[in-house]
Amino acid sequence: MRGINISITDDLAFVYTPYHPAFIKLIKKIGSSKWDGVNQCWVLPAVEVDQVRNYMMEVYGETDLTDHSTDVDVIITFKSEKTALCQPVYAFGRAIVRATGRDSGARTCEGVTFLDGYIKSGGSRANWQTIVTAGTRLLVRGVPRNKVAEWDGDIEILEHEVNREELKGEREKLVARISEIDKILAELDKESH
């Protein structure tokens, strides 16, 4: 999933992720975490980064260090109707179908293509729903392999070739993380002398 990033400045970590209610619930367990509405990120002590990455893996199936060369595209079929109250329908750690109100209708989210079936909005004005009917088929791109087993309906994995540019981007992130680790280790060495 693109849009996941952690940057570290001094002793603070700035965590950027797509919205997911389960991730918010988890990151709030870190008592010193704070939402920065201006920069649209979570801010917390850098020493908590490993725990944040555990939470990212749990919810999104990936972190800012994930190698996306193993991601797959999948065609999913809903075996029963799925509704979500005042929020999108989620699968594989991300929003896949979204309504914005009772009469808004529903749309697929980024990286998702509607194949057949029916997606809609419903409910009341105050308690609207996003609805995906049984038998609906969607193509979901870029699913982390470790999230595929979570699907509760029919699924077809579409293998794709490795994207060279994505691999280069992933390598740059890893090199940046190694630099962060080297900096932290150097500071620890200074403190111990």
Residues 130, 62 share a domain: no
In single-letter form, the type of residue at position 126 comes to A
The CATH number assigned to the domain holding 31 equals 3.40.1170
Q: How confident is the model at residue 162, as a pLDDT?
A: 61
Domain of residue 48, residue span: 1-66
Last residue of a domain, one of 66, 89, 108: 66
- Average pLDDT, 10 consecutive residues per value, the chain (193 residues): 84 93 94 92 94 93 83 92 96 94 95 95 96 96 88 79 74 87 87 76
Please give the DSSP secondary-structure letter assigned to residue 37.
T
Does 82 fall in a domain?
yes
* Distance between CA atoms of residues 50 and 174, nearest Å: 15
pTM of the shown model: 0.71
Rounded distance, CA 14 to CA 80, Å? 39
Three-state secondary structure call for residue 87: coil
Same domain, yes or no: 62 and 86: no
Q: Identify the domain boundary among 9, 40, 66.
A: 66
